[in-house]
C-alpha cells in the first residue's frame, strides 16, 4: 500500500497498482475504477468527469519518487507540499542497504550524478564514478551500443528494461554481467532531468546459464554419432570456443578399433590416438599415436580417473616430462588447463584437455564439475560408438568370410562386380555359380538390416542357394524353396524370447536369380522384391528386362515366382543391382549404355563407382555379366534311336569326338563308359526322342536327354541282381551328376574333369 500521504503507486509500465483512500477523496474515483489503468489516461484523455479535472489541476502539485519493492521499481505519487524530491544521501544509503541492485542517477549528458554503488573497475569506491559518463565508467564491452540505448530512452521516454551487458576483463579478473534498466526521470513539469539506471550483477546466473548451454550442446550433438572419431570431433565442436579456446581429445587406440577399454590405472605403455584437436599449435598431429609420459597430469588422470585443474607454470616438472606439449602450450599462450578423463564403469577410454589462453579468463575450481559432466556424457557416447564399431567389425569380418571372392570369367560370361559398403555394413551379396552344360547362375540378394544377425542370415541364404543350384533346379523352383527357407528362419526369429533384440526385428530379404545358357544364348530370370535387371545389347540398344515381381523372401503367403526367359545374344551386358542403382532417374543406366559397348566391365564398374562416390548412405552392389557364345567346335550333339543299337552309336561318336579334342585314352574310356550307362538308362526308362550332347569346358559334360519326366533313382544293386547298377557306376566315375527338367522332358548329365 502507498505510505501515509501518498495518493497512488504507479508501476514502471505506467499503470496504477495501488489507489489510496486520500486519492479517492481528492479525485473522486474509487479504487476499482483506477487500478490497472494507465496514468496517461488520467491526466490527458478524460471523459469530462470532475475528478479528471481535479487531477489535471493538481498535477503540478504532485511529487513523484521511486520506491524499490524487492527488485521491482514503482513510483509513489504524493502531494508536493513538504516532500523533498531530491536524491538525498540518506535515501541512496537506504536503497543500497536493502537492495542487491546498484542505483544510479544520470543527467542528460549521461554523467553519473548520484549512485548507490559501483561496479566494474571501481567496485569498492562508489564515489569514484561520480561525474563519469555511464558506459565508460562501467567499463562496458560495448559502450557505443549502450550509449545509443540510453539516449533513445532520453528522447522517447520509453524505458529499456533488463538489458544484459558485459564489462571488459581488466587484469584477467574476468568480465562481469549486469542486468541494466534505463528509465527516464522527469520533474513535476515533465521536463526531462536525466535517467535512472538500475543495475543488478547477474554474473553468477550468466555463468550458470553458459555452463548449462555447454552441457546441453554436448548432450545434443555428441550422441548423434556412432563413430568413435566423429564423437570426439563433436565434443570438440561443442566446447570450443563456448567453454575454452583450445581442446584436445586423445583416445586409447584399442577403443578406436572397438576393443574393450582397460581398467584404471592405465599402463604407461598403452598407446593413445589424438582423435580431435581445435586450437593454435598441436603438439602431435591429429591421427598420430603416442604414449603419455609418466609424471604428467594426463597420465595421472588415466591412473585415478579424476579431473583436475592444473596450474600452467613453465617451471613445473611435468612440463619438462613432455617437451612437445610444453612447447605447444608456450606457443599458444596458454594460462589455464583442466584435464579430465573419458571413463565409464572404471574403464578408461581416453583423456580430454581443456586449455584457455590469451585474453580468456582463467578456469576456476567450479569449472571442474562442468568438465566432469561433459566428459561423463561423452564417455557414454564413446562407449556406444565403440560397441557399434566392434559389432560392425565382427559383421564385416563374418561377411568377408561368407562372401565369395571377386567372380572370375566363365566360358559363358565375362563378369565384374561393384560393391559399395554402407555405414554399419549390410546384407547385400552376389554370387556366380557355374552349372552343367555351359550354363551360369547369376545371383543377387539383399537382406534388410545391419550387423552380425544380418550377416549371418545372408550367409545362411547364400548357402541354401548353393545347395539348390547343385540340384540343378529351375530358377523359379529354386526361388520358391529359398523363400520357404527364409520363412522358417523368420519363424525361428519370431519365436525368440521377447528380450532378445532379434525378436522384434522382422526378417526381410530380396533376391534375383538369372540362369544364362551359352549354348542357347537365352537367360531365364526370376526375382523376389529387387528391381528389374537392365540389359545393353550389341549395337548400343538398351532396355529394362521386364520380369514379373515375386514377393520378398519371408513375406506373407505362398505366391508363385514367375520366371521370364529372354534372348541374350553374344556381347549383351546384363546388369543386376540392389537399392535404386538401376532406377530410371539414376546415373547407372546412362553410364551402362554409353560405356558397355566399347569398354571392359571393370572399366564400366570404375566409372559407376566414381559417379556414386558421394552416395554411401546404404550398401550398394552391382553385378555385370557380358554374354559369350560357346565355341561350336566344343559341342557334339547326336540324336539317338530308342533301341539297343543307340549305345554302340553313342560310344563310337564319343570315342571319335574325344580323340578330336585330344582327350587321353584313360579319360576317353571312362567317358565312353559313362555315356554307355546314360544311354542304356534312357533306353530302358525314358521316352523318345533321345539325344546325346558332349560339352568340353573346364569339365567334360556328358548329357542324355529324353521326353520322360520320371526321376532316375540311384540304388545299390544286390550281388545276384543283373541290372540296377547304371547310375551307381555313373556316380562312382563322375565328379558330379544330376538331372534337370524342362518343358520337353529331362536331361541326365555327368561331369568329369579331364586329367
| DSSP per-residue codes, 672-688 | HHHHHHHHHHHHHH--S
Query: Both 621 and 644 in a single domain?
Result: no
325 phi/psi in degrees, rounded to 5: -70, -40
- Give which of 131, 137, 186 is closest to 165, Cα–Cα: 137
Query: Both 601 and 684 in a single domain?
Result: no
3-state secondary structure of 696: strand
Residue 752's Cβ-side half-sphere holds a number of Cα atoms within 13 Å equal to: 24
Rounded CA gap, 302 and 306, in Å? 8
- Give which of 247, 258, 253, 288 is closest to 270, Cα–Cα: 253
The tens digit of pLDDT for each residue in 235-268 reads 999 999 989 999 999 999 989 988 889 998 988 8
Beta strands 549-550 and 522-528 are parallel
- pLDDT computed for residue 251 by the predictor: 95
Rounded CA gap, 474 and 13, in Å? 88
3-state secondary structure of 258: coil
Name every residue whose Cβ is closer than 8 Å to that of residue 412 and which is 6 or more positions away in sequence: 434, 438, 439, 440, 516, 517, 518, 627, 628, 630
203-221 helix and 228-239 helix, angle to the nearest 10 degrees = 160
Dig out the grid coordinates for 674 from the structure.
559313362
Any domain includes 80? yes
Report the percentage of the chain scoring pLDDT > 90.
37
Edge-to-edge strand list for the sheet holding 534-536: 413-420, 620-627, 573-577, 534-536, 542-544
Cα 464 versus chain centre, distance:
33
742 phi/psi in degrees, rounded to 5: -145, -175
CATH number for the domain including 81? Answer: 3.30.450.20
Query: Both 273 and 348 in a single domain?
Result: yes
Q: Give the largest Cα separation in the chain, rounded.
A: 146
| Residue 641: other Cβ atoms inside 10 A | 12
- pLDDT computed for residue 376 by the predictor: 93
Query: Both 498 and 410 in a single domain?
Result: yes
- Give which of 515, 347, 356 is closest to 434, Cα–Cα: 515
Any domain includes 44? yes
Dig out the grid coordinates for 426 from the structure.
549390410
- Give the DSSP per-residue string, 7-58: EEEEETTSBEEEE-HHHHHHH---HHHHTTSBHHHHHTS--S-HHHHHHHHH
* Domain count of the fold of the chain: 5
Any domain includes 414? yes
Query: Both 305 and 272 in a single domain?
Result: yes
313 contacts 319 by C-beta, under 8 angstroms: yes
**What pLDDT band is residue 232 in, cutting at 50, 70 and 90?**
very high
Any domain includes 608? yes
**What pLDDT band is residue 52 in, cutting at 50, 70 and 90?**
very low
| Residue 414: other Cβ atoms inside 10 A | 18
Any domain includes 485? yes
Burial class from Cβ neighbours inside 10 Å (0-12, 13-18, 19+) for residue 150 reads buried
- pTM value is 0.63
Task: Determine the average pLDDT of the residues in 457-475.
Answer: 91
- pLDDT computed for residue 12 by the predictor: 65
- pLDDT computed for residue 51 by the predictor: 42
Query: Both 475 and 601 in a single domain?
Result: yes
- Looking at the predicted structure, is the pLDDT value of residue 643 above 70? yes
Query: Both 608 and 681 in a single domain?
Result: no
Kindly report the length of the chain: 755
* In the block, residue with C-alpha cell 479517492: 24
Q: Measured at the alpha carbon of residue 77, what is the angle toward residues 74 and 83, in degrees to the nearest 5?
A: 115
3-state secondary structure of 475: helix
Any domain includes 398? no
DSSP state of 533: P
| Residue 61: other Cβ atoms inside 10 A | 11
Any domain includes 92? no
The tens digit of pLDDT for each residue in 480-530 reads 999 999 999 988 888 888 877 777 788 889 999 999 999 999 999 999 989
Rounded CA gap, 426 and 508, in Å? 12
From 141, 172, 201, the end of a domain falls on: 201
Rounded CA gap, 244 and 356, in Å? 5
Any domain includes 397? no
* In the block, residue with C-alpha cell 538489458: 163
From 573, 599, 627, the end of a domain falls on: 627
- pLDDT computed for residue 393 by the predictor: 79
Query: Both 156 and 169 in a single domain?
Result: yes
Dig out the grid coordinates for 12 from the structure.
514502471
Show the DSSP H helices in 244-361 as ranges. 253-256, 297-304, 317-321, 323-331
The tens digit of pLDDT for each residue in 515-572 reads 999 999 999 999 998 999 999 999 889 999 999 998 999 765 677 899 999 999 999 9
Rounded CA gap, 490 and 510, in Å? 14
* In the block, residue with C-alpha cell 523372401: 553
- Looking at the predicted structure, is the pLDDT value of residue 397 above 80? no
Arithmetic mean of pLDDT over the chain: 83
- Looking at the predicted structure, is the pLDDT value of residue 275 above 70? yes
- Give which of 102, 62, 81, 101 is closest to 186, Cα–Cα: 62
**What pLDDT band is residue 78 in, cutting at 50, 70 and 90?**
low
Query: Both 418 and 562 in a single domain?
Result: yes
- pLDDT computed for residue 31 by the predictor: 83
Report the percentage of the chain scoring pLDDT > 70.
85
DSSP state of 359: T
Rounded CA gap, 282 and 325, in Å? 8
Task: Determine the average pLDDT of the residues in 195-209.
Answer: 81
- pLDDT computed for residue 481 by the predictor: 92
**What pLDDT band is residue 63 in, cutting at 50, 70 and 90?**
low
Query: Both 356 and 458 in a single domain?
Result: no
Cα 570 versus chain centre, distance:
45
- pLDDT computed for residue 45 by the predictor: 45
354 contacts 239 by C-beta, under 8 angstroms: yes
142 contacts 171 by C-beta, under 8 angstroms: no
Dig out the grid coordinates for 413 from the structure.
560370361
Structural domain span for residue 684: 632-752
**What pLDDT band is residue 46 in, cutting at 50, 70 and 90?**
very low
357 contacts 333 by C-beta, under 8 angstroms: yes
Rounded CA gap, 291 and 274, in Å? 10
388 contacts 352 by C-beta, under 8 angstroms: no
Element (H, E) at 557: none
CATH number for the domain including 696? Answer: 3.30.565.10
CATH number for the domain including 492? Answer: 3.60.40.10
Beta-bridge partners for 703:
693, 749
CATH number for the domain including 269? Answer: 3.30.450.40
Rounded CA gap, 24 and 31, in Å? 7
From 627, 643, 678, the end of a domain falls on: 627
* In the block, residue with C-alpha cell 506373407: 556
292 contacts 298 by C-beta, under 8 angstroms: yes
Rounded CA gap, 740 and 693, in Å? 14
Task: Determine the average pLDDT of the residues in 147-163.
Answer: 88
Query: Measured between alpha carbons, how far is residue 402 from residues 167, 458, 481, 576 in Å?
Result: 66, 8, 21, 20
Query: Both 384 and 446 in a single domain?
Result: no
Query: Both 49 and 114 in a single domain?
Result: no
- pLDDT computed for residue 210 by the predictor: 80
- Looking at the predicted structure, is the pLDDT value of residue 84 above 60? no
Name every residue whose Cβ is closer than 8 Å to that of residue 463 and which is 6 or more positions away in sequence: none
Residue 482's Cβ-side half-sphere holds a number of Cα atoms within 13 Å equal to: 39
Beta strands 192-201 and 413-420 are unpaired
- pLDDT computed for residue 57 by the predictor: 43
Amino acid at each position: 500500500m502507498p505510505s501515509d500521504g501518498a495518493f497512488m503507486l504507479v508501476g514502471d509500465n505506467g499503470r496504477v497498482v495501488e489507489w489510496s483512500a486520500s486519492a479517492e477523496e481528492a479525485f473522486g474515483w474509487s479504487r476499482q475504477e483506477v487500478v490497472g489503468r494507465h496514468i496517461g489516461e488520467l491526466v490527458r484523455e478524460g471523459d469530462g468527469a470532475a475528478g479528471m479535472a481535479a487531477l489535471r489541476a493538481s498535477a503540478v502539485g504532485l511529487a513523484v519518487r521511486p520506491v524499490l519493492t524487492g527488485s521491482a521499481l514503482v513510483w509513489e505519487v504524493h502531494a508536493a507540499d513538504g516532500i523533498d524530491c531530491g536524491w538525498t544521501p540518506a535515501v541512496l544509503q537506504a536503497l543500497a542497504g536493502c537492495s542487491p541492485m546498484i542505483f544510479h542517477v544520470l543527467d542528460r549528458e549521461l554523467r553519473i550524478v548520484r549512485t548507490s554503488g559501483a561496479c566494474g573497475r571501481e567496485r569498492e569506491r562508489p564515489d569514484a564514478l561520480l561525474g563519469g559518463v555511464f558506459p565508460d565508467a562501467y567499463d562496458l564491452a560495448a559502450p557505443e551500443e549502450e550509449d545509443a540505448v540510453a539516449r533513445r530512452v532520453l528522447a522517447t521516454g520509453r524505458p529499456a528494461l533488463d538489458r544484459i551487458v558485459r564489462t571488459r576483463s581488466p587484469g584477467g579478473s574476468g568480465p562481469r554481467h549486469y542486468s541494466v534498466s534505463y528509465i527516464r526521470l522527469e520533474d513535476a513539469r515533465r521536463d526531462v532531468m536525466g535517467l535512472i539506471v538500475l543495475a543488478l550483477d547477474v554474473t553468477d546466473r550468466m555463468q550458470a546459464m553458459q555452463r548449462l548451454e555447454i552441457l546441453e550442446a554436448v548432450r545434443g550433438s555428441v550422441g548423434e554419432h556412432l563413430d568413435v572419431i566423429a564423437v570426439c570431433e563433436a565434443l570438440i565442436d561443442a566446447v570450443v570456443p563456448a567453454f575454452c579456446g583450445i581442446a584436445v581429445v586423445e583416445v586409447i587406440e584399442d577403443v578406436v578399433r572397438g576393443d574393450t577399454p582397460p581398467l584404471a590405472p592405465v599402463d604407461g605403455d598403452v598407446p593413445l590416438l589424438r582423435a580431435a584437436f581445435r586450437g593454435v599449435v598441436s603438439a602431435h598431429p591429429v591421427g598420430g599415436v603416442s604414449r603419455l609420459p609418466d609424471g604428467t597430469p594426463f597420465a595421472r588422470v588415466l591412473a585415478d580417473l579424476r579431473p583436475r585443474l592444473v596450474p600452467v607454470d613453465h617451471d613445473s616438472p611435468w612440463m619438462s616430462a613432455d617437451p612437445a606439449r610444453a612447447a605447444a602450450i608456450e606457443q599458444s599462450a596458454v594460462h589455464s588447463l583442466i584435464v579430465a578423463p573419458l571413463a565409464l564403469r572404471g574403464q578408461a577410454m581416453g583423456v580430454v584437455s581443456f586449455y584457455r589462453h590469451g585474453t580468456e579468463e582463467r578456469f576456476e575450481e567450479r569449472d571442474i564439475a562442468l568438465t566432469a559432466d561433459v566428459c561423463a556424457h561423452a564417455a557414454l557416447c564413446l562407449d556406444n560408438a565403440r560397441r557399434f564399431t566392434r559389432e560392425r567389425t565382427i559383421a564385416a569380418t563374418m561377411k568377408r568370410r561368407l562372401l565369395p571372392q571377386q567372380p572370375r570369367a566363365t566360358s559363358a560370361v565375362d563378369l565384374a562386380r561393384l560393391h559399395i559398403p554402407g555405414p554399419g555394413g549390410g546384407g547385400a551379396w552376389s554370387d556366380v555359380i557355374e552349372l552343367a552344360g555351359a550354363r551360369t547362375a547369376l545371383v543377387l540378394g539383399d537382406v534388410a538390416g545391419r550387423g552380425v544377425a544380418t550377416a549371418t542370415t545372408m550367409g545362411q541364404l547364400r548357402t541354401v542357394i548353393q545347395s539348390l543350384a547343385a540340384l540343378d533346379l529351375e530358377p523359379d523352383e529354386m526361388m520358391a524353396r529359398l523363400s520357404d527357407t527364409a520363412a522358417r528362419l523368420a519363424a525361428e526369429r519370431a519365436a525368440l524370447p521377447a528380450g532378445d533384440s532379434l525378436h522384434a526385428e522382422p526378417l526381410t530379404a530380396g533376391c534375383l536369380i538369372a540362369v544364362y545358357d551359352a549354348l542357347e544364348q537365352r537367360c531365364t530370370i526370376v526375382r523376389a522384391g529387387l528391381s528389374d535387371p537392365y540389359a545393353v545389347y550389341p549395337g548400343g540398344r538398351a532396355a529394362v528386362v521386364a520380369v514379373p515381381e515375386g514377393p520378398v523372401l519371408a513375406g506373407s503367403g505362398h505366391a508363385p515366382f514367375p520366371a521370364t526367359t529372354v534372348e541374350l545374344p553374344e556381347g549383351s551386358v546384363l546388369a543386376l543391382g540392389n537399392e535404386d542403382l538401376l532406377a530410371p532417374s539414376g546415373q547407372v543406366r546412362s553410364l551402362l549404355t554409353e560405356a558397355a559397348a566399347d569398354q571392359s566391365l571393370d572399366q564400366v564398374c570404375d566409372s559407376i563407382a566414381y559417379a556414386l562416390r558421394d552416395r554411401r548412405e546404404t550398401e550398394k552392389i552391382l553385378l555385370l555379366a557380358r554374354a559369350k557364345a560357346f565355341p561350336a567346335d566344343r559341342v557334339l550333339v547326336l540324336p539317338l534311336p530308342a533301341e539297343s543299337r543307340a549305345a554302340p552309336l553313342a560310344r563310337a561318336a564319343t570315342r571319335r569326338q574325344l580323340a578330336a579334342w585330344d582327350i587321353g585314352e584313360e579319360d576317353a574310356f571312362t567317358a565312353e563308359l559313362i555315356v554307355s550307362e546314360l544311354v542304356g538308362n534312357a533306353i530302358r526308362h525314358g521316352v523318345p526322342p533321345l539325344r546325346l550332347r558332349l560339352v568340353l569346358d573346364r569339365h567334360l559334360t556328358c548329357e542324355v536327354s529324353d521326353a520322360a519326366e520320371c526321376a532316375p533313382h540311384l540304388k545299390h544293386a544286390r550281388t545276384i541282381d543283373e541290372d540296377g547298377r547304371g547310375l551307381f557306376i555313373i556316380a562312382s566315375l563322375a565328379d558330379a551328376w544330376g538331372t534337370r527338367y524342362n518343358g520337353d522332358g529331362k536331361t541326365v548329365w555327368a561331369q568329369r574333369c579331364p586329367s
